[in-house]
Amino acid sequence: MPIQFRCSNPACRQPFTCPDKMAGQKARCPKCQTVNQVPASAAAAASGGQIRLGPYKVVRKIGEGKMGAVYEAVQEGSNLRVALKVLPQRMMGDAHSLERFQREANAAAGLKHPNVIAAYEIGRDKGYVFFSMEYIDGENLKERVKREGKIRASEALGIIRHVAQAMDHAWNHGKIIHRDLKPDNIMLTREGQVKVADLGLAKSTEIVTEVTAPGTAIGSPEYMAPEQFTNARDVDCRADVYSLGITLFIMLTGRRPYQAKTAIEYLALHRDVLFPDPRELEPEVPESVHRLLQRMCAKKPEERFQTPRELLSEVERLLGMPAASPAAQPESAVASSDELTLAVTPAAGTVSPSHAPSPPEAAASALPPPAPPSAATPVGAPKPSASPAPAPASAGEVTPPASSPAAGVIDASQETRTWVETGGADRLARQRRRKRLLLAALVLAAVLAAAALYFVLRFKA
C-alpha cells in the first residue's frame, strides 16, 4: 500500500507518495529537495507517524523473518532503543505459530550470555503479539561477507569461537539448540561483538513438545544437516555444528559449498556429495582449518564434534589460546524464572509482562493495519493439555488450521522419502557427470580444431 505524507519542511509541506517498500527509509521531497523520513506504514503516516505497541513507539522496519517482522522502537519514558519482533496477524489464529513465537521469546529470555541477543518482555496490544529484545547497532554476517567477499581464516575462526560459546551456553542451560544457524542470524556490532539472533526455530531437547511433527524438516535447506531434512524434531546440537561449518565455509570462500534450487536437491547434496575443499576457492586457507571443516560437516552426526564445548576447544586450539575452562553444569530446564508470560490487563492496550525489561539497546519492519483489540490469551504459561483456541478471523481473512505447518517448516518428509526411494540422488549425480563429460568433450574438440587449423595455415605458408 503506497505511503502518502507531507514534506517535513514547514515552508514546503508538499504532499507526495512513496512505495511501501521504502517504509522507514529516507526520501527526498520532489519540490524542495528536503530529505524526509518515510513513515513506518500507511497507518503511521495517517496518524502523523506515530505507532505504539504497549510502551514502545515504533520508529522503522528493520527486517522480516519466518516468524515475524522486526522493528526499531523506543521505550517511552526511558527513550532507550529496542527491537520489536511482531508476529504476523495471519498467524494469530494458528496455535502452533503462537506457541513457536512464545518459545522463541522464552528461549532468548532464558539465555543470559554476551553472545546471545537478550530478550526483555512479551506483550499483546492492538491485536498484535510482540516481544522486545536488545537492539544491535551493526550488521549481520551475511552483509559483511557480501560487502567484503571473504574473511581471513583467523578472523573467521574468532567469529566461530564466539558463536560456539553461545551454543555451548545454550546446550548447558536446557539443552537448547538453534536449528537455523546461518550468516543472517549472526550479528556483528560496531564494537566487534558477535551476537546470535533469531531463536525462532530453537528447541530444548529436555522438554517434550508437539510443535514439530515427527518426520518434518525445519530450517534453511542451504545450511541444514542431512538428518535435519527428514526429522528436525529429533536432532541435537550436532546439527547446529554442521550449520556452523557451512557458515565457516562461506566466510572463507565467499560462497556456499552447495548450489541447488530446491530443498530436495539440497538434501541430496548434503547427504551424498563430498564436502568441497575450501582451498580450491581460497588457496590461503590452512590445512588445519580444512580438517576442522571436514569434521564439522561430516555426513554422519557421530563423526562430527559431539558437543559445542568439543568444537570450542578445537577452535581455541587452532587460535593458539589456552584450553577452555570446564563447562558449567547444565540446569534442569530453561530458567523458568526468566520465562516471558504474555498478559494484558483489562484496560485495553495495557501490557503487563511478568518479566520487566532491563535497559535495552535494539533492532526492527512496517506494520500492517492493526486488527481491533481482542481479549488476550496467555501464551507463556506451561502448555495446557488442549491446544489454545484460535483467535477469530476478521472478515475476509482465512484462519489457518491449527494442524497446518508454521512458517519456516518444510513438509518434505514424504516427498523426500519418495524421491530417495526412486533413486533421485543417483539420477541427479548421473546428470551432473554427463554435463561434465559433455563440457570436457566440447573443450577437447575445440582444442583439436584449433590445432588442425594451425597446421593447415602453416603448410600453406
Is 138-318 assigned to CATH 1.25.40.10?
no
Query: Given this model, what pLDDT does residue 155 score?
Result: 95
Query: How does residue 288 score in pLDDT terms, banded at 50, 70 and 90?
Result: very high
pLDDT, tens digit (0-9, with 9 covering 90-100), for 222-237 = 999 988 888 767 788 9
Question: What beta strand segments (E) does 194-257 contain?
Answer: 194-196, 203-204, 217-218
Query: Given this model, what pLDDT does residue 44 score?
Result: 52
Q: Which three cell numbers stand for residue 459?
A: 603448410
Query: Given this model, what pLDDT does residue 238 score?
Result: 93
pLDDT, tens digit (0-9, with 9 covering 90-100), for 28-44 = 888 888 888 777 655 55
Which positions are annotated as active-site residues? 180
Where in the chain are the domains?
1-50, 138-318, 425-461
Q: Which residues contact 362 (CB under 8 A, 6 or more apart)?
A: 72, 73, 81, 82, 83, 84, 132, 133, 134, 135, 136
Mean model confidence pLDDT for the chain:
73
Strand order in the sheet with 138-140: 138-140, 186-189, 194-196
- Residue 126: which region, alpha, beta or left (left: phi > 0; alpha: psi -120 to 50)? left
Query: Given this model, what pLDDT does residue 158 score?
Result: 95
d(CA 117, CA 115): 7
Query: Given this model, what pLDDT does residue 183 score?
Result: 93
pLDDT, tens digit (0-9, with 9 covering 90-100), for 246-267 = 999 999 999 999 998 888 888 8
Grid cell 507517524 in the structure block, residue: 49
Closest-CA residue to 128 (of 366, 382, 404) = 366
Query: Does position 408 have pLDDT exceeding 70, yes or no?
Result: no
Query: Given this model, what pLDDT does residue 175 score?
Result: 82
Query: Given this model, what pLDDT does residue 202 score?
Result: 53
Half-sphere exposure (CA, 13 Å, Cβ side) for 151? 20
- Classify strands 15-18 and 3-6 as parallel, antiparallel or unpaired: antiparallel
| Range with top average pLDDT, 115-129, 319-333, 343-357 | 115-129
Query: Given this model, what pLDDT does residue 335 score?
Result: 36
Looking at the chain, the whole-number percentage of residues with pLDDT higher than 70 is 65
- Residue 94: which region, alpha, beta or left (left: phi > 0; alpha: psi -120 to 50)? beta
Closest-CA residue to 29 (of 16, 10, 20, 41) = 16
Query: Given this model, what pLDDT does residue 6 score?
Result: 79
